């Protein structure tokens, strides 16, 4: 069974409580349940990891590199635009990597997105709310089968 790692960045555990105009009312737990259901339908093994700590996030990326994870989906959240360390860590991955954001980051940032972490991603999915995560899993399944 192909293994996919989902990496959630800082404050994602607070979805459902954060800016509801931007992120809606879906909770972190509901997002993860949607991902588990989608992974099961696709015949994928899914590991979900969330951290508010940059070093722990980077450690998990390196672990994925060493253990042969087949695909990584990442939403680096607040680290997307400015974290050279997270960008460098994600760049070491040799498996397909999909970056995902629930909100339309172009609208959110006035049409300008730096998205340092997305520069080396295989693909980026933005602006579909919680469904973006299911779409990312479908893309990962397509890339690794």
* End-to-end alpha carbon distance in the chain: 10
The residues annotated with a catalytic role in the active site are 23, 101
Half-sphere exposure in the Cβ direction for 50 (13 Å, CA): 13
d(CA 62, CA 59): 5
d(CA 59, CA 65): 10
The residues, ordered by sequence, that sit 6+ positions from 145 with a Cβ below 8 Å of its Cβ are: 2
């Amino acid at each position: 069974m192909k293994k996919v790692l989902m990496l959630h960045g800082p404050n994602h555990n607070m979805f459902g409580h954060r800016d509801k105009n931007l992120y809606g009312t879906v909770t972190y737990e509901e997002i993860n349940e949607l991902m588990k259901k989608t992974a099961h339908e696709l015949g994928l093994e899914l590991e979900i990891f969330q951290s508010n700590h940059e070093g722990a996030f980077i450690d998990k990326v390196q672990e994925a590199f060493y253990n042969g994870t087949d695909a990584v989906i990442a939403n680096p959240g607040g680290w997307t635009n400015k974290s050279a360390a997270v960008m460098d860590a994600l760049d070491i991955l040799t498996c397909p990597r999909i970056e995902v954001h629930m909100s339309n980051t172009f609208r959110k940032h006035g049409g300008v997105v730096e998205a340092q972490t997305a520069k080396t991603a295989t693909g980026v999915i933005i602006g579909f709310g919680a469904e973006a995560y299911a779409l990312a899993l479908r893309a990962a399944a397509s890339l690794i089968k």
